[in-house]
């Protein structure tokens, strides 16, 4: 093989490798973008759930405590454990 043909072949293969690398990079970036979008969406949903739990915990009305159990702590029980 002559040096001229070798250089031409080397140049063609180098360009092919560059195109293939660029294609792989674009595909990877596209998949990474999808993963990031899903992660962000899940994070927003989790934050909303945690906020709902916090609000519900603050406004929790314990149905197990009626007037007859108001002094339950006098008998060694923890009112908060019942709720």
Tell me the two tokens of residue 82.
Answer: 């019942």
pLDDT in the model for residue 67: 46
Distance CA 59, CA 73 (A): 21
Which residues constitute the domain of residue 25?
Answer: 3-82
Total domains in the chain come to 1
- DSSP assignment, residue 59? T
Distance CA 62, CA 79 (A): 9
Contact predicate 73/79, CB 8 Å:
yes
User: pTM of this prediction?
Assistant: 0.54
Per-residue pLDDT of the chain (83 residues; tens, 9 = 90+): 788 899 999 999 999 999 999 999 999 999 999 999 999 999 999 999 999 988 888 776 655 544 454 555 555 555 555 55
Tell me how far apart the 2 most distant CA atoms of the chain are, in Å.
Answer: 103
Query: 71-81 pLDDT, tens per residue?
Result: 555 555 555 55
Contact predicate 79/65, CB 8 Å:
yes
pLDDT in the model for residue 70: 53
């Amino acid at each position: 093989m002559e040096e001229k043909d070798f250089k031409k072949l080397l140049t063609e293969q180098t360009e092919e490798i560059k195109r293939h690398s660029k294609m792989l990079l674009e595909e990877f970036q596209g998949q990474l973008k999808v993963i990031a979008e899903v992660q962000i969406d899940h994070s927003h949903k989790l934050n909303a759930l945690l906020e709902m739990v916090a609000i519900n915990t603050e406004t929790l009305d314990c149905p197990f405590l009626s007037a007859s159990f108001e002094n339950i702590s006098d008998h060694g029980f923890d009112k908060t454990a019942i709720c």
